[in-house]
Chains A and B, each alone.
Chain A
């Protein structure tokens, strides 16, 4: 028993002698060696870090470009489809008056201020036409859509606006232009067509240059203005 206590005391860690002995020939690194190593390491790590940050920035730019494509594509396709299916505002829809939506009787479209358009657009779910408005909100820089309530066609009672583009993108410019004969039901008129121009950039300023896209397309109205007489 006495022995045990003796041994415990003997092998307490702080009583133990260090078993490692430094060799007298192990001189460590000289100052020059150390400096050279540090210099090489510094140069290499700087370039690696550069590569790494560049990759991350490039990746970020790719994601922003994709977001921009998604946003602009969705908005332009949505508007294109709605615009080409427009109905002439001639008061022939049950309960409508001519010019309810486009302000001028028998007009197909009404472009106001270049960046907003009114027309009778088709609501697939309802199976009815409604007064539709696309416009650029100049404070939020987003494209908005408004439509009249079910079975109404007036441009005065449009419902709450819905965003067509996300908050990730900033719409710098939206332009509509109508060419051809906007007014229908007159013998000797051509079909109207609407050109949509969209200038957008990413809202995220992290990458330079800021991803940007300017797209334009045209929709020729599908409902014919006047019946064809051979």
Chain B
């Protein structure tokens, strides 16, 4: 019994030299780990960029919704005034192509004016609303958003399209059909 152990112990003579890693091996290993981390990092960077874009799109879509509501408000106002046509003030915004034609309006407007592609929305310092400011002061923040309201008339229908443009040729479009129909 003990003889056996004795033999084993004797055989277990670690005379074969055990080499460590060479510098090259280490470098290759570190390089591979770095590449893996770079991959993760670039993915994260991309997600971060996309998150920012999502935020921009969300702001733009709400501004687009505001454009639709401004038009709807004018139509509803025409109804309740009851003096003119239901689409008064909404018929001269057709023929949008790119940055030309169409109309624009800010949140507290009750009528539309011709679209001007050089007019950007500002965040007004006084009450922080997004609006057009002809001569902005230093504390008014210029945003990258421009809003174009396009209205194509049909019979008893207005096809409203609101384009919100911002940095890098990006664009969000909101569409709504408004009818000459009420309860």
Contacts and interface: CB of A to CB of B under 8 A. Distances in A.
Contact of A188 (B10, B13, B81, B107): B81
A217 B80 contact: no
Given A69-B55, A195-B108, A197-B127, 20 more contacts: A8-B2, A20-B13, A26-B17, A40-B27, A48-B33, A48-B37, A54-B44, A58-B47, A58-B48, A177-B107, A180-B73, A188-B82, A189-B81, A190-B110, A213-B55, A216-B130, A217-B63, A220-B72, A228-B79, A228-B82
A197 B130 contact: yes
Contacts of A189: 80-81
B58 A216 contact: no
Nearest to A226: B80
B99 interface: no
A23 B19 CA distance: 13
A64 to B, nearest CB: 9
A33 B21 CA distance: 13
12 contacts: A7-B2, A19-B14, A48-B30, A61-B48, A61-B51, A65-B55, A191-B77, A193-B70, A197-B130, A216-B107, A217-B65, A224-B182
Given A69-B58, A226-B80, A11 B17 contact: no
Contacts of B5: 11
Interface residues of B, number: 56
- Of A58, A193, A219, most buried by chain B (CB within 10 Å of CB) is A193
Given A197-B130, A215-B59, A216-B66, A191 B76 contact: yes
Nearest to B109: A179
A11 B2 CA distance: 9
Contacts of B26: 37, 41
Nearest to B13: A19
B38 interface: yes
B41 A51 contact: yes
Contacts of B79: 224, 228
A30 interface: no
Contacts of A62: 44, 47-48, 51
A23 B55 CA distance: 67
A76 B69 contact: no
Nearest to B11: A19
A225 interface: yes
Nearest to A115: B127
A230 B82 contact: yes
B9 A195 contact: no
Nearest to B3: A7
Contacts of A214: 59, 123, 128, 130
A73 B65 CA distance: 13
A44 interface: yes
B129 A197 contact: yes
Contact of A228 (B62, B69, B70, B80): B80
A14 B54 CA distance: 70
A190 B77 contact: yes
Contacts of B27: 40
B104 to A, nearest CB: 14
Contacts of B107: 177, 179, 195, 216, 218
